[in-house]
Amino acid sequence: MSAELVEQKLGSYSLKLNNKLKERAQGLSRVNEQLEAEILEHDRVEGMMGDNELLLENVLESSGDGIAFFDMDNKGKLMNSQFRCMWNIPENIGVDMDYLDIFAEFVFPQLENADNVAPKIRNFSSRKEKDSGLLYLKDGRVIEYNLFPVFKEGSIQGHICNCRDITINKKAESELKKYAEDLEHSNELKDLFSDILRHDLLNPAGLVKGFLNVLIQKEEDPYMLDMLKKVEMSNQKLIDMIGMAAKLSRLDSDEEIDFNVIDLGFMVNIAKTNFGPMFENKGMKVVSLFSGNYPAKANIMIEEVFANLFSNSIKYSPEGSTVYVDIFDVGDEWKVQFIDFGEGIPDEDKEFVFERFKRANKTSTKGTGLGLAIVKKIIDIHGGSFGVEDNPCGDGCVFWIILKKG
């Protein structure tokens, strides 16, 4: 082979070698670039994992519950400060410690019901179901625990134990239960009291009234006759008060009440007629300023409201005075008002007049307040409103109620 041919072949091999080296260099360059990118991505992921781990730690620390995580080897891997504080676990203990040892050393000694809880705890590491229950501590605390497995791609990675102090909740629940029992007992006593009012007290008072009527008819001595009439008046007040107290007690019952369309003007006139003789005895008049129909959705007990307002007007108005009753259209409601020219009510007493047995100035206010308390209760049952104002035309008051139209 000639030297020229050898030189040509060597040149060809050299060119091919250079091309191979060039390709290999380019490949190494690409690998280097890819490696650098992977390193950057790895650093970024590690940074994110670090941030997420810090975020998780912050979330766990901000929780009011005690939380711990145990891996599949039953080793404690994470505990927030609430969990440590709840079970008195020191900072340098717990991590990489077997969870059974943790419960045996720190949890079980504090429990009243350790014998019931221990079997669940011992068998939990192999369970795929979650479990929950209550832990009763010797110091009176009540802890609600929840144990549940943590899954990733269908396989268990470990278990989380969540503990929450519900002592306050359980105490409130117990107090509420006791309150309900006391309330039920109170209702029973109220029903008993109502029965006593209607029968054991009202019946003897009725007998006294009957005997007084007989004695008054037969008595001829003016002085004794005056004394008997005073006794009769006091006995009648007792009967009225017992009757009102019994009515108020019945209104506090849970019995279902039917509502129908009732003409308020008609009910006012019924009460007005019933109290006619009492107005005549004091030389008083009642003037109705309304006319027409005033349909409202109400129960017939509404007549008791008007009866008590008429009774109140008679009791506190001077002889020979006039009581005015009117009904106004106020949109989708009716307003019924009673205007008297009696003693009036001081401003500081107005907020109390509808409360039973409660008066701001007891020395200047007569009666028990049962009548107006009945008014308040019945109007509350109807979802209406009520109030009292000064009479703009002089002495006295304006009592008013408002009810929905029918």
Q: What 8-state DSSP symbol labels residue 405?
A: B
Name 71's bridge partners. 158
Question: Higher pLDDT residue, 246 or 214?
Answer: 214
User: What integer pLDDT is reported at residue 266 of this predicted model?
Assistant: 93
CB neighbour class for 303 (10 Å; exposed up to 12, middle 13-18, buried from 19)? buried
**Taking 60 as the threshold, does the pLDDT of residue 339 lie above it?**
yes
- For 33-97, give the secondary structure using H, E and C: HHHHHHHHHHHHHHHHHHHHHHHHHHHHHHCCCEEEEEECCCEEEEECHHHHHHHCCCCCCCCCC
Tokens at 92, concatenated: 């340098």
User: What integer pLDDT is reported at residue 369 of this predicted model?
Assistant: 60
Question: Higher pLDDT residue, 184 or 101?
Answer: 101
User: What integer pLDDT is reported at residue 309 of this predicted model?
Assistant: 93
User: What integer pLDDT is reported at residue 364 of this predicted model?
Assistant: 44
49/42 Cα distance (integer angstroms) = 10
Confidence of residue 398 (pLDDT cuts 50, 70, 90): very high
Q: Which CATH class is domain 63-165?
A: alpha beta
Q: What is the DSSP string of 13-27?
A: HHHHHHHHHHHHHHH
Confidence of residue 56 (pLDDT cuts 50, 70, 90): low
User: What integer pLDDT is reported at residue 362 of this predicted model?
Assistant: 44
User: What integer pLDDT is reported at residue 394 of this predicted model?
Assistant: 83
**Taking 60 as the threshold, does the pLDDT of residue 357 lie above it?**
no
**Taking 60 as the threshold, does the pLDDT of residue 50 lie above it?**
no
**Cβ contact 319:283 at 8 Å:** yes
What's the whole-number mean pLDDT along residues 201-219? 78
CB atoms within 10 A of CB 403: 23
User: What integer pLDDT is reported at residue 100 of this predicted model?
Assistant: 82
Nearest to 383 by CA among 263, 294, 257: 257
Residue with tokens 């108005």: 317
- Find the largest Cα–Cα distance for the chain: 177
Overall fold of domain 257-404: Heat Shock Protein 90 (3.30.565)
**Cβ contact 259:299 at 8 Å:** yes
User: What integer pLDDT is reported at residue 42 of this predicted model?
Assistant: 61
What's the whole-number mean pLDDT along residues 333-349? 91
Q: Rg (Cα) of the chain, in Å, rounded? A: 45
Using one digit for the tens of pLDDT, what is the confidence trace for 267-314? 999 889 888 888 999 999 999 999 989 999 988 888 889 988 998 899
**Taking 60 as the threshold, does the pLDDT of residue 7 lie above it?**
yes
User: What integer pLDDT is reported at residue 304 of this predicted model?
Assistant: 85
**Taking 80 as the threshold, does the pLDDT of residue 146 lie above it?**
yes
Q: Which of 21-35, 84-98, 193-207 has the highest mean pLDDT?
A: 84-98
**Taking 60 as the threshold, does the pLDDT of residue 353 lie above it?**
yes
Mean pLDDT, rounded, of the chain: 79
CB proximity list for 153: less than 8 A, separation 6 or greater: none
228/241 Cα distance (integer angstroms) = 20
User: What integer pLDDT is reported at residue 286 of this predicted model?
Assistant: 93
Cα 329 to Cα 313, 359, 360, distances in angstroms: 23, 32, 33
338/399 Cα distance (integer angstroms) = 5
User: What integer pLDDT is reported at residue 363 of this predicted model?
Assistant: 43
CB atoms within 10 A of CB 151: 11
CB atoms within 10 A of CB 166: 16
User: What integer pLDDT is reported at residue 390 of this predicted model?
Assistant: 92
Beta strand ranges found along 269-321 (DSSP E): 285-288, 295-298
User: What integer pLDDT is reported at residue 294 of this predicted model?
Assistant: 94
63-165 and 257-404 agree in CATH topology: no
Three-state DSSP at 233 gives helix
176/184 Cα distance (integer angstroms) = 12
CB proximity list for 54: less than 8 A, separation 6 or greater: none
**Taking 90 as the threshold, does the pLDDT of residue 223 lie above it?**
no
Give how far the C-alpha of residue 259 lies from the chain's centroid of Cα atoms, to the nearest Å: 27
Domain boundaries, the chain: 1-62, 63-165, 173-194+200-251, 257-404
Tokens at 178, concatenated: 């006791």
Cα 297 to Cα 254, 281, 321, 334, 405, distances in angstroms: 20, 34, 33, 11, 6
Question: Higher pLDDT residue, 327 or 116?
Answer: 327
Question: Higher pLDDT residue, 328 or 406?
Answer: 328
